[in-house]
Amino acid sequence: TTSPTRAVYGGDAVSTATIENGDFFTLALMTRAKTVARKAVPQIFPVKIMGGEYFLCVIAPDCIHDLKNSDSNWAQAQREAQERGSSNPLFTGAEGIWDQVVIRSSTRVPLTTNWGSGSNLNGAENVFCGREAVVFAWGAKPSWVEQSFDYANKTGFCIGAIFQARKAVFNAADNGSIAVRVFRTNN
């Protein structure tokens, strides 16, 4: 989330200084982020998985709480629009899906306590991603070494690799992610 090129804000906010109490993470904000992704130049593309095309939005646990408690459309969508049974996103580790966006919760989403005009509101900088959001590179592919010890009574294993994953930035612009900045309750 460091230095995002694109950002959408909860409610009618246009910056972190204009975020107000109640500018929660909502399904309408999810749809707005998807629209920004589709209209971006270069366009942010969805990932092709599970027989469809999906974006990913990683949000703070407080934002999931706010979504479930402040947006009545959420409960209705999960109850009526999702598959019944063990393949329902609520049972697969995803919080749910809305408008081709898989919503996941993570405690690694950056939180703040200094947004708003008085610099005293809680906020979260959630991340909306497409398929080019992260670049993964190998320095050394995985290697496997087995060694016997104590006259072959014990075996040790060594597995090693060198790799790095980073946010994709080209010409100083994020071309695969959007920051979704919102007010959050502090649960």
Reported as a pLDDT band with limits 50, 70 and 90, residue 165 is: confident
The predicted-structure confidence for 78-93, as pLDDT tens digits, reads as follows: 777 666 777 665 566 5
- Give the CA diameter of the chain: 71
Q: What is the mean pLDDT of residues 10-29?
A: 95
Contact 115, 122 (CB under 8 A): yes
Lowest-pLDDT choice from 110-119, 132-141, 167-176: 167-176
Say how far apart CA 7 and CA 181 lie, in whole Å.
7
pLDDT of residue 21: 94
The predicted-structure confidence for 42-55, as pLDDT tens digits, reads as follows: 889 999 887 889 99
Cβ neighbours of 102 (radius 10 Å): 22
pLDDT of residue 173: 81
pTM of the model: 0.80
> What does the CA dihedral 87, 93, 96, 97 come to, rounded to 10 degrees?
-70
pLDDT of residue 94: 61
